[in-house]
Structures are given as C-alpha cells and as structure tokens.
A and B are shown apart, each in its own frame.
Chain A
Amino acid sequence: MNLQLIALAVFDGVAYAALVFMVAVGLTLIFGVLRILNVAHGSFYAIGAYVVASVGGAIFAAGWSPWLAFPLMLIAAAVVGIVLGGLIERLLLRRIYDKEEALQILVTFAVFMILEDVQRLVWGVQPYFEATALQSLGNIQVFGVYYTVYQLILLPLVALAVLAGLRLFLRHTLSGRLILAVTEDREAATAIGIDTDKIYLMTFMLGAALAAFGGALASATTSVLPGIGADMIVLSFAVAATAGLGQIEGAALAALLIGLGRSFAVYLMPELEVLIPYLIMLLVLLWRPEGLFGVTQTRKI
C-alpha cells in the first residue's frame, strides 16, 4: 500500500465518518434523553437525502444558482426534523414512554416500515443523483491525490462544527442544560419541575434534523435510492454502541474509527468492507461492555 493509497483511504474514511457521525450523534442524543432506540432514524437520513436531491435537481434544472444547494440542505434538515420528527414524537412516542423497551423499539420499527413505503410512493424506486454541491466546490490535490473539496474539507468541517455547536448548546444554553439534566437523572429532573415533555420534543426534533442533515450532505456524494435508510440505521447503531450510548464526543471518535476501518478494508480486503463496522463494535464491546466511553451503573439494592 503506497502513500497515495493510504491518503486515499484516509480521505475516504474521514469523509464517510463525518456523514455517519451526523446520523449517529442524533441517534445517541435521542437515546440519552428519551431512552428510546429510534429505528426510524435511518428514515430521516433517507428523507433528508431525497428532499435535497429532488428539490435541488428541480431548481438547478430551472437555472437557479448552484450555491443554493447549501442553504437548501439546512432548510431540508430543519423541515424534516421539525415537521416529521415533531409529529412522530407528539403523536406516537409520547404515548409509549412508560412502556417496555421492546415495545418502544417496535413502535419506531413500525414507523420505519411506514416511512420506507412513503419514500417509495413519493420518490419511486429510480435513483436520484444530484452532485451540484459537490461539483461547485471543485477538487484539491493533497499527497498527490485529487479529492473533492466537498468531501475532504467541507464534510469534516461541518461535522466538527456540529460537534462544537452541540457542546456549546448543551453546556451553555438553558435548553441544552435542561437536556443534559434529563439525560443524567430523569427522575430528579422531573422532581425539580423540568418540563420533560418539552425537552423530549425538542431533543427528538433536533436528533431527527441531524439525521436529515447527514442525508442532505450525503446526497451530493452518492445516489439516493431505496434502502439507504436501512443501511444507515444499522451503521449508526454500531457507531453509537461502540462509543457508548448517549456519548456525543465519543460518537465522533467511534465514527472516525469505523469510517477509517471501513475505508482501509475497501482497499485491502474488499470482501470485508461491510463487516468491518460490526467487527469493530464487537471487539470494543467485548473489551468494554458499555462502549468506549459508556459508564456502568450499579443498582441500589
């Protein structure tokens, strides 16, 4: 493996990790606050991608500026998060917070099934490809390798900005601190009068928006077609579990670990590409059952 190949693998891995992180961090945030593993999370990713690819395709064909691709991504993410995320939390999740964990997962699984068909009905089964955003930023040469600016610079920067933004939001704003309080001790938070309903709604919308944003960003780099949501959800599960559920900074590191592992596998052992994320997760959990950054909890007896 020469230097160019190594560089290529690293770049691929980092770009990929940035996208996966966006989805996984939303998943882990929702889990931390609502204690629900949201299987429908992959659908938010897919719908975010579909919206940007289809709307973008239409407006660029009509001759609008390619630079509108970037605000479009933000708007699509916000709309998916607020409308779809808000509706699902309000109408469904709110009714199942006191149910068994298995039933909660199944409710989100049902939502996932429904949204899969919704996507098929709205967008059909033909792939969408809309790379205007990717092309508008051009290429760059690093270590003798040509790579897109979009994937090599923009995606990692956006991921870091999301990470930093989340940290700032959670530590230094009132809403963020309330979210943290609910994450750490739900009972105590309710006892001191925090409006958990509002926190749950806000968190779910934020998490859904992050997944949709991940999809929006990804739509410029890959074809959008049925099934991408299903693939992404298992992958982001793997990232979130490797990090330790509810760990935001950890998710960034785990995404990088899994992203790099995967991209090196593509060049070294292509058959193992799909396996690598799960192998990494299994090895990590074998060594640390609660994930890299998770904490063990002892029960009072």
Chain B
Amino acid sequence: MTALLEAKGLEIHFGGVVAASDVNLQIHEGKNLAIIGPNGAGKTTFLNICTGYLKPSAGQVFFNGKGITRKSPREITRLGVARAFQIPQLFGEHTALENLLIAAAARERRWAPFTRLGQIPERAEMMHLLEMVNCVHVADRPVEELPEGQRKLIDIAVALALKPKLLFMDEPTSGVASSEKFAVLDIVAKALTESKVTSVFVEHDMGIVERFADEVAVWNRGEVLHRGMPDDILSHADVVRDVIGEEI
C-alpha cells in the first residue's frame, strides 16, 4: 500500500519544549486516521508542519511522493491538501455561502474582475455542500454571528470546497456541545465519504475516535507512540494510562 502522505524523521522544538522528535508516519488513501494524545503532545504541530505553517528543523514530508517540506501553506493547498482548524478560520464579515464561494473561486482561479462572486458557476455546488453540513438555513448570515458549532462545520465545508485529496481536521468537535458531537461528525463523515476524501483528525473524545476512525495514532511528547486499529489501541494499557486516563 503506498502512502498518500508520508512524514520522515520530523524534528522541531520551541525553546525547551520538544514538539516533534523523530516523527514518522504514513497516511493511507481512503482511510480516516485519528491522532490522539495529551495536550502539548505535538498533534497540532504535526498538522502545522504537514500543511506548511511551520518548517521542521529536520525531516521531510512527502505528498503523493513529492517533497513538500519547505513549501508554503498556499502551495501545499494547491497540491490537494486542505485543512480545517481547531479555531475556525473563516471570513467573519462574509456570509456562510460567500465563504464557500470564495473557496470555490480560489480553486477555479476565477480572477476576472467583473464577474460577481454570487454568480460564479460553482454556486449550486457550494449550496449542495452547505446542505451536506446542514447549514443551508444560515447561508446568508455573516459567519461571525453564528455559533461555534456551525462555524466549525462551515470551516470544514470551506476545506471540502477545495475538493482536496487529503483533509486535516484539528479537533473537529471541540466547541461543539457534547450532545451534538456525534451528529456533527456523522455529517462530516458522510460529506467525506461522498467527496472521497482521505482524512486525518486530531481528537480528544474517545467515543468519536472509536466510531469514526479507521486507524489511530497515539502521540506523546512529540513522538508517535503507537499506531493501529481503534479497538486495539483504545484497549492498550499505556494508551489508557497516558491519554484516555487524562481525558477522564
């Protein structure tokens, strides 16, 4: 099985804190990989390196066999890697639909100065995407007015609007009410399957991991400690102690 994304020997530290120490990881096409671990284990740092926001001090990242270590978020995005954020990164003054339309215009490189954003050919496609994440009813509201849960979904929809091959999601259910977490991820998982996107998501809620992950990687102190099927990993004694124990 060839890897869609491969990280080799990543190293990075901030002052005295080691955020990545010899991180090696392969991400396989068509699977949903969950990354779990205590706070400060370097999970978000891994996402930051893979999407070009941070440069590792050593090591390399390959996407589809192509080196992307020194590339910018913009270049990596254009290769087909999208990202949804722990804190939703949206255009607050724009409406939910406009956020998606801007993403679509970026994907299709619609630079012509006199086309209207609201009338680009991708509009129907974007409405469909909003429908998939259950946000059609807020399509015309500025996203800064929306609750965190909906912003989270729109953030993911914006990433999906790029039609990526690989999607990184940083704690997709944080900020979502616990009674709604499953419903939210059901929506996301359906959208992912529908658009045939491989995903990597950082998650603290083990219930979510159990239900949605095909594979799990356990992080601690900048290292990948374990990797395997959700059932095996979640019953592993060390993991229970280091990660799940801390969560409860």
Complex contact flag A–B (Cβ < 8 Å): yes
Which residues from B are CB-within-8-Å of A301?
Answer: 48, 53, 85-87, 89
Tell me which residues from 260 to 301 in chain A have a Cβ below 8 Å from any Cβ of chain B: 298, 300-301
Cα distance A287–B87 in the bound complex, in angstroms: 33
Which residues from A are CB-within-8-Å of B87?
Answer: 300-301
Q: Can you list, as one digit per residue, whether each of B80-93 has a CB less than 8 Å from chain A (1) or not (0)?
A: 00000111010000
Cα distance A301–B53 in the bound complex, in angstroms: 9
Q: Is the interface of B mostly helix, strand, loop or mixed?
A: loop
Tell me which residues from 60 to 96 in chain B have a Cβ below 8 Å from any Cβ of chain A: 85-87, 89
Cα distance A298–B85 in the bound complex, in angstroms: 15
**Chain A: minimal CB distance from B156 (Å):** 15
**Chain B: minimal CB distance from A100 (Å):** 13
Cα distance A301–B49 in the bound complex, in angstroms: 12
How many chain B residues touch A (CB < 8 A): the figure is 7
Cα distance A274–B242 in the bound complex, in angstroms: 64
Q: Is the interface of A mostly helix, strand, loop or mixed?
A: loop
Which residues from A are CB-within-8-Å of B48?
Answer: 301
Which residues from B are CB-within-8-Å of A300?
Answer: 87
Which residues from B are CB-within-8-Å of A298?
Answer: 53-54
Cα distance A298–B53 in the bound complex, in angstroms: 9
Cα distance A300–B54 in the bound complex, in angstroms: 11
**Chain A: minimal CB distance from B234 (Å):** 28
Q: Can you list, as one digit per residue, whether each of B118-130 has a CB less than 8 Å from chain A (1) or not (0)?
A: 0000000000000
For B47, the closest partner residue in chain A by CB is A301
Cα distance A177–B85 in the bound complex, in angstroms: 36
Cα distance A222–B54 in the bound complex, in angstroms: 52
Cα distance A300–B86 in the bound complex, in angstroms: 10
Q: Can you list, as one digit per residue, whether each of B29-54 has a CB less than 8 Å from chain A (1) or not (0)?
A: 00000000000000000001000011
Cα distance A301–B86 in the bound complex, in angstroms: 7
Cα distance A298–B87 in the bound complex, in angstroms: 15
Which residues from A are CB-within-8-Å of B85?
Answer: 301
Cα distance A301–B48 in the bound complex, in angstroms: 9
For B73, the closest partner residue in chain A by CB is A301
Q: Can you list, as one digit per residue, whether each of B99-117 has a CB less than 8 Å from chain A (1) or not (0)?
A: 0000000000000000000
Cα distance A14–B85 in the bound complex, in angstroms: 51
**Chain B: minimal CB distance from A296 (Å):** 12
**Chain B: minimal CB distance from A106 (Å):** 21
Cα distance A298–B48 in the bound complex, in angstroms: 12
Cα distance A298–B86 in the bound complex, in angstroms: 16
Cα distance A301–B171 in the bound complex, in angstroms: 12
For B170, the closest partner residue in chain A by CB is A301
Cα distance A298–B54 in the bound complex, in angstroms: 9
**Chain B: minimal CB distance from A286 (Å):** 20
For A301, the closest partner residue in chain B by CB is B85
Cα distance A300–B48 in the bound complex, in angstroms: 10
Which residues from A are CB-within-8-Å of B89?
Answer: 301
**Chain B: minimal CB distance from A187 (Å):** 15
Q: Can you list, as one digit per residue, whether each of B214-245 has a CB less than 8 Å from chain A (1) or not (0)?
A: 00000000000000000000000000000000
Which residues from A are CB-within-8-Å of B86?
Answer: 301
Which residues from A are CB-within-8-Å of B53?
Answer: 298, 301
For B53, the closest partner residue in chain A by CB is A301
**Chain B: minimal CB distance from A289 (Å):** 16
**Chain B: minimal CB distance from A284 (Å):** 24
For B86, the closest partner residue in chain A by CB is A301
Cα distance A298–B14 in the bound complex, in angstroms: 12
Cα distance A300–B85 in the bound complex, in angstroms: 10
For A300, the closest partner residue in chain B by CB is B87
Please give me the 8 A-B residue pairs with the lowest Cβ-Cβ distance, nearest first: A301-B85, A301-B89, A301-B87, A301-B53, A301-B86, A300-B87, A301-B48, A298-B53
Sample of 6 more A-B contacts, CB < 8 Å, known A300-B87, A301-B48, A301-B87: A298-B53, A298-B54, A301-B53, A301-B85, A301-B86, A301-B89
Residues of B within 8 A of A (CB): 48, 53-54, 85-87, 89
A-B contact pairs, 9 of them (CB 8 A): A298-B53, A298-B54, A300-B87, A301-B48, A301-B53, A301-B85, A301-B86, A301-B87, A301-B89
